[in-house]
């Protein structure tokens, strides 16, 4: 969906109605990679129409993978490795480094060689350590060939803290197809790509993308911040339980039946001190907004320090929040939140990671705001405009 860049948002609205949660982009990419590796036709349900995922599918099609949209949320994935051309990367001049590594690993996992432009040469040391044969050619490409045999000591990999992101985990999971017995030392357990180790799941004809947890959090907080009531459909309670427990702390009430979350506000349980040891900026931002709008006295919150969180606090203060912090030991922040009144503002969405916090602030107080760069949320909350209109909130397009 193509959103306008700038919107006028009229606040003072209360969220009531039903919301269908989209699939998570990362989960969709992981399931698609698994389908390609099996070499069999698979159906993937709850697939999101986000820009990142659509771009990923477009690149896969250029590799020879057949992608068909069966419905608005369901795709079929099919590839014939017998007719697959492994010299593909040089045909994709705009391929991102992130996708390039995924595609290289997919091909090597099937024991093919792959021809790669020199601009991706930073990947070379890893493949040499894996025992791959790397040859340079005279046409400014290098050829990576998967090991024919895997004798001797198996490589051991340690993923450092900066490699704990989704794409690092995805790539190392795919590498297991090159070395079935490879030992990978993950710092962060459990591995979110556990589907690669689930033989029963791999053999199914249909894969299901997990719910977009960030989207669940956004709509749940809209109900709480606007004193509304929403039925959020498609919730994975196992993935959302931590945030729901945080909502317990601030006085939200929810019921879960099957995969539907019914949530509304109840201000009976407010506290003045919270220990929120997390580095998730969007979840923390929603809690800070709640205490700004509904608190009766200042509140102390302990959280992990990070650049994102300090930048989030700066943005919230521009909107009228009153949040201060002090550094404690072990990279911990001690936050103080005072009740305040938000102000009319014009702000860009900073990034998709916690852009929903800015949007929630604009929606949840009585006043008009102008929010720019709202398209950055398209991979964070798909179908945003349609869903809010179905809930009777109008995002009014404005000239940038």
pLDDT for the residue numbered 63? 76
Q: Which two tokens stand for residue 304?
A: 């992990």
| Domain limit, last residue, from 148, 176, 208 | 208
pLDDT of 182 strictly over 70: no
Asked if residue 17 lies in contact with residue 390, where contact means CB atoms within 8 angstroms, the answer is yes
pLDDT digits (tens, 9 = 90+) for 16-33: 999 999 999 989 999 999
The residue among 152, 186, 208 that closes a domain is 208
Yes or no: say if 58 and 195 are a contact pair by the CB < 8 Å rule. no
Q: Alpha helices of 82-185 — where are they, by DSSP H?
A: 97-109, 124-129, 166-175
Inform me whether the pLDDT recorded for 343 exceeds 50.
Answer: yes
256, 314: one domain = yes
Contacts of 309 (CB under 8 A, 6+ apart): 279, 281, 284, 303, 333
Tens digits of residue pLDDT in 375-395: 888 878 888 888 999 999 888
Do 10 and 37 reside in the same domain of the chain?
Answer: no
* 229 shares its domain with 330: yes
Q: What is the pLDDT of residues 114-131, one digit of tens each?
A: 877 777 777 777 777 777
pTM of the model: 0.85
Number of domains in the chain: 2
Rounded CA-CA distance 342/344 in Å is: 7
Q: Is 113 among the domain residues?
A: yes
Q: Please, how many CA atoms are within 13 Å of residue 154, restricted to the half-sphere of its CB?
A: 12
Q: Higher pLDDT residue, 277 or 365?
A: 365
Angle in degrees, CA 207, 211, 216, rounded to 5: 175
Other C-beta atoms lying within 10 Å of the C-beta of residue 334? 14
Task: Kindly state the average pLDDT of the residues 78-90.
Answer: 72
Where among 208, 228, 257 does a domain terminate? 208
More confident residue, 391 or 92: 391
Verify that 108 and 234 share a domain, yes or no.
no
Identify whether residues 163 and 254 lie together within a single domain: no
Residue 22's pLDDT is 92
* pLDDT over 60 (residue 259): yes
User: Does 244 lie in the same domain as 303?
Assistant: yes
Cα–Cα distance list, 249 to 34, 255, 360 (Å): 39, 15, 19
Confidence of residue 76 (pLDDT cuts 50, 70, 90): very high
Q: What is the pLDDT of residue 208?
A: 92
Residue 252 has pLDDT above 80, yes or no: yes
- Residues 336, 334: Cα–Cα separation, whole Å: 7
Residue with tokens 């040891």: 277
Asked if 358 and 218 count as a contact pair (C-beta separation under 8 A), the reply is: no
Closest C-alpha to 79, from 29, 30, 26, 38: 38
Name the pLDDT band for 188 (thresholds 50, 70, 90): very low
Looking at residue 319, what DSSP letter applies? T
**Sheet architecture: strand order including 42-45:** 66-71, 74-78, 42-45, 206-208
1 found inside a domain: no
Domain presence at residue 137: yes
Cis-peptide, bond into residue 237, ω within 30° of zero: no
Asked if residue 194 and residue 81 are part of one domain, the reply reads yes
Does residue 314 belong to any structural domain of this protein? yes
pLDDT digit string, tens, across residues 29-55: 999 999 998 888 999 999 998 888 998
pLDDT at 278 over 50: yes
199-238 tens-digit pLDDT? 899 899 999 998 998 899 999 999 999 999 999 998 888 8
Same domain for 256 and 371, yes or no, is: yes
Q: Is residue 162 predicted with pLDDT exceeding 50? A: no
Average pLDDT over residues 307-326: 91
Same structural domain for residues 203 and 276? no
Whether residue 249 is found in the same domain as residue 388: yes
CATH number of domain containing 372: 3.65.10.10
* 276 and 224 co-located in one domain: yes
Task: Write out the residue range of the structural domain in which residue 117 sits.
Answer: 25-208
């Amino acid at each position: 969906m193509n959103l306008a860049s700038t919107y006028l948002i009229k606040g003072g609205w209360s969220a009531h109605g039903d919301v269908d949660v989209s699939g998570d982009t990362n989960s969709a990419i992981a399931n698609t990679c698994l389908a390609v590796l099996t070499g069999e036709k698979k159906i993937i349900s709850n697939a999101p129409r986000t820009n990142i995922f659509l771009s990923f599918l477009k690149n896969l099609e250029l590799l020879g993978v057949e992608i068909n949209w069966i419905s608005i949320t369901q795709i079929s994935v099919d590839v014939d490795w017998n007719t697959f051309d492994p010299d593909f990367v040089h045909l994709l001049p705009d391929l991102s480094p992130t996708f390039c590594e995924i595609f290289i690993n997919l091909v090597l996992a099937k024991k093919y060689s792959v021809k790669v432009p020199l601009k991706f040469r930073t990947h070379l040391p890893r493949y040499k350590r894996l025992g791959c044969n790397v040859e340079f050619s005279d046409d400014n490409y290098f050829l990576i060939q998967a090991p024919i045999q895997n004798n001797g000591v198996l490589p051991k990999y340690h993923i450092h803290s900066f490699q704990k992101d989704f794409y690092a985990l995805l790539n190392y999971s795919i590498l297991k197809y090159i070395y079935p017995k490879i030992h990978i030392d993950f710092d962060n357990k459990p591995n979110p790509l556990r589907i690669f180790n689930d033989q029963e799941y791999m053999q199914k004809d249909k894969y299901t993308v997990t719910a977009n947890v960030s989207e669940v959090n956004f709509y749940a907080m809209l109900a709480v911040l606007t004193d509304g009531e929403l039925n959020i459909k498609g919730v994975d309670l196992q993935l959302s339980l931590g945030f729901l427990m945080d909502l317990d702390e601030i006085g939200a009430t929810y019921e879960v039946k099957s995969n539907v979350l019914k949530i509304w506000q109840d201000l009976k349980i407010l506290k003045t001190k919270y220990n929120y040891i997390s580095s998730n900026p969007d979840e923390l931002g929603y809690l800070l907004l709640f205490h700004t709008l509904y608190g009766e006295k200042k509140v102390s919150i302990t959280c992990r320090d990070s650049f994102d969180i300090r930048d989030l606090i700066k943005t919230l203060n521009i909107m009228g929040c009153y949040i201060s912090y002090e550094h404690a030991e072990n990279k911990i922040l001690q936050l103080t939140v005072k009740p305040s009144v938000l102000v009319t503002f014009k702000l860009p969405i900073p990034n998709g990671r916690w852009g929903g916090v800015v949007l929630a602030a604009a929606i949840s107080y009585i006043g008009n705001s102008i929010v720019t760069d709202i398209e950055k949320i398209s991979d964070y909350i798909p179908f945003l405009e349609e869903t809010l209109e179905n809930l009777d909130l109008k995002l009014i397009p404005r000239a940038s």
